[in-house]
């Protein structure tokens, strides 16, 4: 039973890699280039799955998809001053809600 669950987890991971991350093998001539592309896509898959797990534990996965998360957080702006101080744009309620499970809400 455990190996069946692991198989399902791996299959879902490859499905996300192929469909969500749109991993395709374009006409690549070198094996090293393909291996590099696969490595980067695998890292992206790991990051994506980690974000999805945090959202799931926080109960936000019902309200937000990964794409909606990215759209909300794209609106966040930060300005770095010459002295190294970082000033963030004002966070919306949705942005605060999404950043809270990651302990990433900026302090002003």
Contact between 23 and 17 (Cβ < 8 Å): yes
Contact between 17 and 63 (Cβ < 8 Å): no
Whether the per-residue pLDDT at 38 is higher than 90: the answer is no
Q: Tell me what pLDDT residue 55 has.
A: 92
Render pLDDT for 78-91 as a digit per residue (tens, 0 to 9).
889 999 888 888 88
Whether the per-residue pLDDT at 30 is higher than 70: the answer is yes
- The pTM of the full predicted model, rounded to 2 decimals, is 0.69
Contact between 57 and 101 (Cβ < 8 Å): yes
């Amino acid at each position: 039973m455990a190996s069946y669950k692991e198989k399902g987890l791996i299959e879902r991971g490859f499905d996300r890699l192929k469909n969500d991350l749109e991993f395709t093998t374009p006409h690549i001539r070198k094996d090293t280039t393909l291996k590099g592309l696969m490595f980067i896509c695998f890292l992206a898959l790991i990051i994506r799955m980690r974000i999805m797990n945090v959202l799931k534990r926080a109960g936000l996965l019902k309200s937000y998809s990964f794409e909606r998360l990215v759209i909300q957080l794209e609106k966040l702006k930060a300005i770095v001053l010459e002295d190294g101080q970082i000033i963030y744009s004002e966070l919306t309620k949705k942005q605060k809600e999404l950043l809270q499970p990651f302990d990433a809400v900026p302090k002003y």
